[in-house]
Every structure is written in C-alpha cells, then in structure tokens.
A and B are shown apart, each in its own frame.
Chain A
C-alpha cells in the first residue's frame, strides 16, 4: 500500500510534511519518534479521522481500521462492545481469552480499568478484517504480561489476514519485538525508514542515533 505525499498545518505551523510511503501488506510497520513528532496526527490522517491540507483522503477504496490512544468504551457489556465490530461470538471469546478478559465479558465496559479497557478495545478492533490496521500505542496502558499477549494477538492477526499493520509506539523494545519495518519521525518529518533490525541497530541518520541513544538503545 502506498500513501501519497501530504502536509498538515495547524495554526500556520506545518506539523507534518511527508513524502510517499510504502506500507507493505502482511507486515508490521512501527512508527517511532519523540513526543510531538507527528506520529498520532499521521495515524489520524491515514485513518481519515483528520484531513491533510489538500483535504484529500489518503486511501480510497481501502478498508482502514484505527485504534486511537484512548478508545471509547460504549455503554454496554465488554462482550457486546466487542461484538459491535462483528457478530462472531466465537472469535470474540477467543480474543477475550487470549487477552485475559474473558471473566469480564458480562461486566459493563464503563467499569473497566484503563488496562482492561485497552485490552477490550484491542479485541474489538481485531474482530474485523481490514486491509490496513493502524494501532496508536495500543499497549500504553497495559502491564508487561498483557502487553506480550497483545503483541501475540497483533502478530497473529497480521499473519491470518495478511493486512498491513501500522504500529505507533513509544516503546523501542516493542518495535524491536513486533515490527518488520520501522519509520522514524522527527519534528513532523520522516528522517529514516527501513528494516527494523537495520534501523534500530545501525541507523544512518544522526537524529535517529540521538533518539535511540536517548531511549537507551
């Protein structure tokens, strides 16, 4: 899948200025970069939640799924929340079990903790088959055990559906565990991209090196 080049401006300040990008199908691409580098805005524009400056949709005719940083729990049970995105109780049960929330199936989603809500939201988005799945820090509210289960589910979804996954993350160790490719953002610009091992071990750009050093890699 190829994105077109686009810019995004807020209050006369260009916050994103990106060239064309390739998002390979069946692969997980991690987007990393410091706070305010435009990662989430990039995800929202790709998902069609926000528009680029030229108002064009980046993808047309492509089914895109997007999991925001703070997903909204609808006023119903955890299981019904998940079934909103596909009436397949068996799949919902399997996903809830994989993410350790099967005991919360009948509980109101409004009463879940932050980590439980994040797991419910991940189950919900994984119910449907998308051509591109964008996950904006899906495990930020989870503990380590849940994070590893979530990563396993994302990997399995990608392998089963063959869809491209774009993972916005602050965790370089998560990018290393999960991603096939990495894109590095800095101040709204793409500064480096490539195979995960290559970018994280032997970055070409000075800014990438500084960012990786800062995060202890």
Chain B
C-alpha cells in the first residue's frame, strides 16, 4: 500500500502522458457540462422559486425525481437513444466526449435547479414585497434578486462540478472508457483497478481527493465574502 502511494506520487510528479490525457479529458467533460448546467439551471431555478404558475408543482416534483436519478439509468437512456438502434444513431455521438457531456448536463442541471429554487423561494417573497413597495420595476426586482443569489449560484456550481467529477455510471456507459479518448478519472480508476494496476488508480484517487478539498476550501472562502 505504502509503496503504491509512493509510486502514485512519483507518477503525478513525472507528468505521465496517459495521466495528463485522463486529466484533460476529465477537465473538458466536467467543466463544459457544469457550465452548461449552470447556464440552464440558474434561470429555471430562479423562475421556479420566484414565480407561481400552473404546473410549477409538477415541475418541482419532476426536478426532485431527476436529482435522485441513478447515473447508470441516465447512461442507459442515452446509450439507447444514440446506439445503433436509437433515434439519434446518425449523429455518431456514442463513445464520444460530446455524449458524456450531454449525459452529465442532464444529471447535474436538476441539482442546480434544486439549489436555486430552494434559495429563491425563501428569499423572493420578502425581497419582492420591499422592491414593489419602493416602486421598483420587474427588471430591477430581478437584478436585486440575482444579487442576493450570488453565493447560491457559486455554491450550486461547485456542487454540480463536484458531482460531475465524481460521476462514473453514466460516463462509463456512454463514453465506453476508451483509453486516450473518453477515459476520465473515475472510469480510469475502475479500469486500472480491474486490471490489478493500482498505481495509476491511486494517483487519480489522490488527485480527486485534492480537487474535492480545493472545492471545499474555495466554497468556504467565498461563503464568507459573498454572504456580506
């Protein structure tokens, strides 16, 4: 165990090409999917939290269901849609980074929607009463609401990024964990562990843990600054 960890650290320090490739694929998939999910999730979450309209409760239940959707089910769904018998087979997206990103967007957007909806539903009524009492228009009301949401947006993003980087089921199914092409950190750990090659697995595990620690440190620092 001790020697495996030492070798893993040496592998990280030596900038192993395969390790770097896995890291770059992971960064591409996770950053793109979390940013896309943020762009989609924040307005939907704010809308669901701030407005009351027919069908809102149905959408909330649907979103909560999607938050709990097992990643392998998401992976299976996209596999069927994009495989040789699926309606989107002509796109040839199966076992590509594009489809991995799409599957992750579907997995993590509901998390962002949920975080934003909860915060806005709690904040919007009091803010709206004050803003309308002052005679502010709808645009100014939304601008002030967005300003209140800054920390929530930030923490929702980090939460979704953490979920994306730790996700394995969906990306393994639609990406196929192809070395030098669609292998990300989590799928690579599984692949190398199955092969009995622990060194790269441990190296990737250490990087994942370090990233998780960094995310939490950034979140704690920003919490103090943005909540002011």
A residues with CB within 8 A of B: 47-49, 63-68, 70-72, 74-76, 84-85, 108, 110-111, 121, 124-125, 128, 130, 134
Contacts and interface: CB of A to CB of B under 8 A. Distances in A.
A67 B126 contact: no
Main secondary structure of the interface of B (DSSP, over half): helix
A45 to B, nearest CB: 13
A49 B132 contact: yes
B129 A108 contact: no
Interface residues of B, number: 16
Contact of B132 (A66, A74, A125): A66
User: Interface centre among B127, B129, B133, by most A CB within 10 Å?
Assistant: B133
A65 B148 CA distance: 22
Contacts of B196: none
Interface of B: 126-127, 129-136, 144, 147-148, 150, 227-228
A57 to B, nearest CB: 12
B129 A68 contact: yes
A68 B148 contact: no
B147 A75 contact: yes
Nearest to A64: B135
Q: Which of A70, A72, A125, A134 has its CB near the most chain B CB atoms (within 10 A)? A: A72
B108 to A, nearest CB: 26
B148 A47 contact: no
Given A84-B134, A108-B228, A121-B130, 10 more contacts: A49-B132, A65-B133, A66-B133, A66-B134, A70-B126, A72-B126, A74-B147, A75-B148, A125-B134, A130-B135
